[in-house]
Structure 1
């Protein structure tokens, strides 16, 4: 029993659960709320996505175990609370279960999830060696649940569907800046590339300004969905998310990371509360 909290920590539920729920909300938006007879299938697809993402996070901890002993010594593999062998077994079980569940949805969904999962595992293996492409790859992967949701919904045709062209733009830029902030936090433990310190290690102040500027500049994009079907509840709650995103440019690094995480949660809450209280 004592290992269960550590195994859960490996799965990063603070990321996997919000992302999978936001994916499900995106499916709802794409379908225009026409979910009758589809809730079960869509819920299964959401769980499948969560399991594949969790598997990728576990692999990330395995690959980064030595680096995490410096950057994040509390993580289960780095702290030796979970062996890399046990973590590998967990990753395989999560991935197989997730892909099996995806196969019950549709072939096209299975293919899409497999491609995204494969890209996540490739990132786990290459992230410390690809320089600035690392943050770009994370941003693309984070944004990939939008097209995945449209695949599951067989298109985007509801009254809020046009907003699904806006949200990915905001998330792409914000996720890039967020990953950059986290890499700045962890820069001292990251290995050099080709024997040289990375640009983040040489010029942290420049990259901190760039990350903050990108996140703050992207935050007002969250106001645009009001012009594409979202209503006043969304507008009110999204205003809080915008403030959080802009504020992230002006606070210390670790606090900025928390604010951007909260911005993303609040933005998802805005989109969800809007349809819950006002309907499609």
Structure 2
């Protein structure tokens, strides 16, 4: 059991992305008022809870991953299920403990997200679209959590825009992931949109969400975000989101689109972050 296997298990790049989302949420909400303690704590809470969520998801997905992703740490035998469970528990406890230093609302939200992630991994993921909605919600809450850590002035008005964008981009990405995992999900009776409606219909729903997001993406500029937002929107976010939309409506196309949408998500966070500079 190598350190590399555990890093792969927690999906460190996704964890960093979630933590960065929290930092962005704080700075956007506070209009770039630096409060190192609040920023670091909120990022750590989000990072630890996200890591725990990824690990517990792999614990319950081991049979599916044996078909879809046999190279993952658990199905490949590099990390045992028992060790993964312990790691998930440690991550959740650390995140929940640190949330206490931010305030009661931060603690409650952290606890609710942990419960949601556990319920998703154990049961809701197999329910299809409802599972997609929960993942989109918890991902968007990573950004919202940074704003909640600031919790002053017009923080809610400023954070609601990037939270909204994150929700719909993640929802589309989750549908695409369901298409990518179609074969394993079908064998294990997982009711995703792809296994219930079919690959092509699921693709059409995902593309519709992405097209709507593309069409409304300039709005934040007219609502107070600066020119940097538009530059990153045109230079990175839109090209990779469009690349996802024009993919062939196949399982192979979904694998490519998922990668592009990760870049869209990261570039979106950076666009909102730098676009909110006063």
Measure the CA separation in 2 of the matches of 1:48 and 1:198.
29
What is the deviation of 1:63?
A: 0.7
1:238 matches 2:239 = no
1:120 matches 2:117 = yes
Greater shift, 110-119 or 184-193, is seen at: 184-193
Greater shift, 208-217 or 163-172, is seen at: 163-172
The number of equivalent residue pairs is 271
- TM-score, with structure 1 as normaliser: 0.89
1:61 matches 2:58 = yes
Show the counterpart of 1:219. Answer: 214
Measure the CA separation in 2 of the matches of 1:3 and 1:81.
8
Show the counterpart of 2:130. Answer: 133
Q: Is the 8 A contact 1:217 1:246 kept in 2?
A: no
Q: Is the 8 A contact 1:181 1:208 kept in 2?
A: yes
Q: Is the 8 A contact 1:209 1:249 kept in 2?
A: no
What is the deviation of 1:52?
A: 1.0
What is the deviation of 1:221?
A: 2.5
What is the deviation of 1:242?
A: 1.9
Q: Is the 8 A contact 1:166 1:221 kept in 2?
A: no
SS in 1 for 2:139: helix
Which residue of 84, 92, 100 maps to 2:89? Answer: 92
- TM-score, with structure 2 as normaliser: 0.90
Q: Which runs of 5+ in 2 are unaligned?
A: 248-252
Q: Is the 8 A contact 1:216 1:247 kept in 2?
A: no
Q: Is the 8 A contact 2:237 2:263 kept in 1?
A: yes
Q: Is the 8 A contact 1:244 1:262 kept in 2?
A: yes
1:188 matches 2:189 = no
Measure the CA separation in 2 of the matches of 1:197 and 1:148.
30
SS in 2 for 1:6: helix
Q: Is the 8 A contact 1:109 1:151 kept in 2?
A: yes
Which residue of 103, 107, 111 maps to 1:106? Answer: 103
What is the deviation of 1:218?
A: 1.0
What is the deviation of 1:222?
A: 2.4
Q: Is the 8 A contact 2:59 2:81 kept in 1?
A: yes
What is the deviation of 1:65?
A: 0.7
Measure the CA separation in 1 of the matches of 2:101 and 2:52.
19
Measure the CA separation in 2 of the matches of 1:112 and 1:197.
28
SS in 2 for 1:166: helix
Q: Is the 8 A contact 1:102 1:110 kept in 2?
A: yes
What is the deviation of 1:266?
A: 1.1
